[in-house]
Amino acid sequence: MEKNHADLHVHSTCSDGVHTPTELVRMASEIGLAGLALTDHDTVDGIQEFLKADGPDSLERVPGVEISTEHRGSEVHLLGYFVPTDSLKLSTKLKKCEEARKVRFPKMIAKLREIGIDIQDREIQLILRGVQSPGRPHVARLLIRQGVVKDFKEAFQRFLVPGKPAYIKKERMETIAAIKLLRQVSAPPVMAHPLVVRTDDLRGLLLEFKAAGLAGVESHYDYSQIAHKTAPIILEHAVEGLGLIETGGSDYHGDSAHDTLGRVTVPMEIIEQLRESAENG
């Protein structure tokens, strides 16, 4: 790993990661990261622990969030950076997102039980201990623990994507509204893993989102599990000349396909660009 680089996309036990915010700080320090952003799904509950955890002063910590949104029927994830933890407007919206996740989770379990997969209550309690924002990865872990599938990829492909037996659509915030919300609380919005989004015109989508206030795009991401080798070229053409901050990160959860903290990083100057965007509103 190059020095003076940051991983700007990681998840903790407060959403669907397997490590606490404190553990993530320790791990980032041990591998020599210069910067780290905590971007849990639809919650900022782990940020205070993340910022206060013991660690070297040299490790730049960026409070973030990843919000699940929807635009014209397609799921779009937004990363917000330098998010405030004392914003009533933001916390109210995120609580609604959390509640949507909590409502969906038991419905997915019920669907699995309907097709004969006996998910044990004690296993659910273990998986969800300390979790504020449960999601499909937690269901995948249950399926793996009970020997139904061998890994995350199989769990999602067989059960957890649209059209499969345990998929339940989650109520999501509208993307443009979420971009504007993040801008209102001075947290630069960035489009996460853009090639995951179902669209025939990524550049057009980025232009539309930029007009609404989008500050950046996650150009650096590991697409080995989901996209073609030409992914970097597609992205390069899509973002060329748009003036968006090009962020990146590992999307580290601890036990998913993106299983290496610091696997994808960006130079530390990207954090400075995000900070400047936050300060300028």
What the block records as the tokens of 60 is 């730049």
pLDDT band at 281 (very low <50, low <70, confident <90, very high): confident
Residue 241 gets the label, from left (phi > 0), alpha (psi -120 to 50) or beta, of left
pLDDT in tens, 26-62: 999 999 999 999 999 999 999 999 999 999 999 999 9
pLDDT band at 1 (very low <50, low <70, confident <90, very high): low
Q: Choose among 174, 187, 180: nearest CA to 211.
A: 180
Give the whole-angstrom CA distance, residue 51 versus residue 271: 16
Give the whole-angstrom CA distance, residue 157 versus residue 264: 24
Please give the pLDDT value at position 43.
93
Please give the pLDDT value at position 230.
67
* The domain over range 5-94+173-279 is classified in CATH as 3.20.20.140: yes
Lowest mean pLDDT among 22-36, 136-150, 187-201, 221-235: 221-235
Contact 252, 258 (CB under 8 A): yes
Give the whole-angstrom CA distance, residue 10 versus residue 167: 24
pTM for this one?
0.90
Average pLDDT over residues 134-142: 91
| Segments making up each domain of the chain, as ranges | 5-94+173-279
pLDDT band at 134 (very low <50, low <70, confident <90, very high): confident
Contact 183, 281 (CB under 8 A): yes
| Dihedral sign computed on CA atoms, order 43, 46, 52, 57 | negative
pLDDT band at 130 (very low <50, low <70, confident <90, very high): confident
Q: Is the pLDDT of residue 244 over 80?
A: yes
Contact 252, 37 (CB under 8 A): no
Please give the pLDDT value at position 53.
97
pLDDT band at 132 (very low <50, low <70, confident <90, very high): confident
CA 198 to chain centroid, in Å, comes to 17
What the block records as the tokens of 131 is 């979790």
Q: Is the pLDDT of residue 227 over 70?
A: no
